[in-house]
Amino acid sequence: MPPIIACHDVSIRYITGDFKDIGIKEYLIRHLTHNYHVTEFWADRHVTFELEPGDMLGIIGSNGAGKSTLLKAISGIMAPTEGYCECNGKISALLELGSGFDGDLTVRENTYLRAAMLGYSRDFVESAYDSIIEFAELQDFQERPFKQLSSGMKSRLAFSIASLVKPEILILDEVLSVGDGAFRKKSEAKMREIIGGGATTILVSHSLGQVRSMSNKILWLDHGRQVAFGDNVKGLCDAYQTYLDTKHLPTAEELPPLNVAASASEPADGKGRAEVSDAPGSAERDVIDVGRASQGADAGAVSTKEKRIPFAQRLRSMPRALKITFIAVLLLTVVIAASEARLPAKVQALPQTAQRVLYRDDTTGVGVYLWESKLYVFVPREMVEQSGGDMTFYLSVVDSHGYRMSDTFDVDKLANSRFSTDSTEVLVVPMGRYPGYMHVLFGQLADGASADQVNEDDRERLLVWSGVYDKAKDVGRTIA
């Protein structure tokens, strides 16, 4: 009889910084500027186990061990990066307390909504509705908005729906730890009833007592790695409790036998115990069952990676209109990205090419230029360092109605890294944030001066250097 759940060499990777995170435009810009890199994080690595109908698996491990991520792969919410998960039964997963519920709907409406998301018909829910509400002890709250329920009430309703629809596979992630003691006992009794009916259950919990009393198999994960898997519940839970107390991860020799039968017989050749394989040059350790490893070796090397359809093949299979739209968007993005990649060179050329020079001091090297609705402030890096990194750029704007707005900018912290060089810091101020501006006063705030004190009459004393731009006349006046 095939196992109801089989996970073989499951590895799940998260990538940050790729084009799905940063967008295709930024992806192309970083490639063109040779500044593209991604960060990989393996939430789970080489996890292998099988469950038979009626098994109750308790998954243990500290926070960040990869338990919830593994449950998402088993539930089909996400696909493993490597390996595969095979489930031969109807799954009811309760991974997050509020998942599948709408806070503005009533308890009654949410019961139908959640059950529908689990794939059950309205007729079935109507026949089971009274039992669900009675088990959750929410008879007096059926017409109340879901968001008004306490965390314990939400947990009771979620568990009641997940358990009373008679699943073949029930997956619970830290949901039984919420609620009072009476409901915990009630939920444990219900889970034993489900298991007795032949359902396979996976429970993630930090309550070792709950795992000990309910599970017949244990999977121990640590930082995504499989430490142990077996039916020696007492031995593995004791070893995990020791790890929590000492923070010492046991080696293969220190682990108890993984299976109860092995614990009783303890063969001389060590079969049934865990072994550790160390990759050359790596400190990472995988603990696997020897018997399972030998089965894999006899089966031969089989690639477990999911077959991927080449991008060119997927593009050819697109409808013509969608294909044309996609290519047009891609070409437009490439043109914009190429323009963005050349932008730093254009900005660096502003001292020679800018049409609106609002301020320039050839002695100090300070310059302020207006280009494409942005103010570019050029300051020599040496000048910023001499100020101790505490150089403040002051900007005061008056609009057509006479309304005045002022801002200050830390040049060292806010300088644009794309435009700055080894010798020059470039601060960019988008003037679009000041709609309808007509008159601009700017400069470097003097040490000890407050932005609230600056005005047109006293600017020479409070500003180290300053300038004025009158948009109506489109002229800039420099005050050195």
- Cα–Cα dist 397/368, whole Å: 15
3-state secondary structure of 120: coil
Average pLDDT for the chain: 79
410-423 burial, b if ≥16 CB within 10 A, otherwise e? Answer: ebbeebeeebbeee
Helix 320-348 vs helix 19-32: crossing angle, to nearest 10: 50
Q: What is the pLDDT of residue 227?
A: 93
Q: What is the mean pLDDT of residues 43-69?
A: 91
Pairing between β-strand 56-60 and β-strand 217-222 as defined by DSSP bridges:
parallel
Q: What is the pLDDT of residue 300?
A: 35
Predicted TM-score (pTM) of the model is 0.53
Instruction: Centre a 10 Å sphere on the Cβ of residue 109 and count the other Cβ atoms it contains.
Output: 16
Q: What is the pLDDT of residue 436?
A: 85
% of the chain exceeding 70 in pLDDT: 82
% of the chain exceeding 90 in pLDDT: 23
Contact call for residues 272 and 290 (beta carbons, < 8 A)? yes
pLDDT tens-digit readout, 71-81 = 999 988 888 99
CATH 3.40.50.300 fits 5-90+167-299, yes or no: yes
pLDDT tens-digit readout, 417-453 = 778 888 899 999 998 888 888 889 999 988 878 877 7
Domain range annotation of the chain? 5-90+167-299, 311-343, 350-479
**Would you place residue 92 in the very low, low, confident or very high pLDDT band (cuts 50, 70, 90)?**
confident
3-state secondary structure of 103: coil
**Would you place residue 260 in the very low, low, confident or very high pLDDT band (cuts 50, 70, 90)?**
confident
- Cα–Cα dist 203/176, whole Å: 9
Report residue 384: phi and psi, to 5°: -65, -40
Pairing between β-strand 56-60 and β-strand 200-204 as defined by DSSP bridges:
parallel
Q: What is the pLDDT of residue 175?
A: 64
Contact call for residues 191 and 169 (beta carbons, < 8 A)? no
Q: What is the pLDDT of residue 473?
A: 77
Pairing between β-strand 374-380 and β-strand 424-430 as defined by DSSP bridges:
antiparallel
pLDDT tens-digit readout, 293-319 = 333 333 333 333 344 456 566 666 667
> Taking the chain, what is the end-to-end CA distance rounded to the nearest angstrom?
89
- For residue 333, pLDDT beyond 90: no
Q: What is the pLDDT of residue 291?
A: 35
DSSP per position, 144-174: SBGGGS-HHHHHHHHHHHHHHT--SEEEEES
Q: Which helix (H) or strand (E) holds 399?
A: strand 392-399
What's the burial of 101, exposed, middle or buried (CB within 10 Å: 0-12/13-18/19+)? buried
DSSP per position, 277-332: EE-TT---EEEEEHHHHHHHHHH-----SPP---HHHHHHTS-HHHHHHHHHHHHH
**Would you place residue 174 in the very low, low, confident or very high pLDDT band (cuts 50, 70, 90)?**
confident
Tokens of 307: 């077959």
- For residue 403, pLDDT beyond 90: no
Q: Which of 37-51, 147-161, 193-207, 307-321 has the highest mean pLDDT?
A: 37-51
Q: What is the pLDDT of residue 297?
A: 35
- For residue 142, pLDDT beyond 50: yes
Q: What is the pLDDT of residue 293?
A: 36
**CATH classification (class only), 350-479:** mainly beta
pLDDT tens-digit readout, 269-289 = 444 444 333 333 333 333 333
Contact call for residues 437 and 398 (beta carbons, < 8 A)? yes
Q: What is the pLDDT of residue 313?
A: 62
Contact call for residues 110 and 157 (beta carbons, < 8 A)? yes
Q: What is the pLDDT of residue 8?
A: 93
- Cα–Cα dist 57/230, whole Å: 9
**Would you place residue 6 in the very low, low, confident or very high pLDDT band (cuts 50, 70, 90)?**
very high
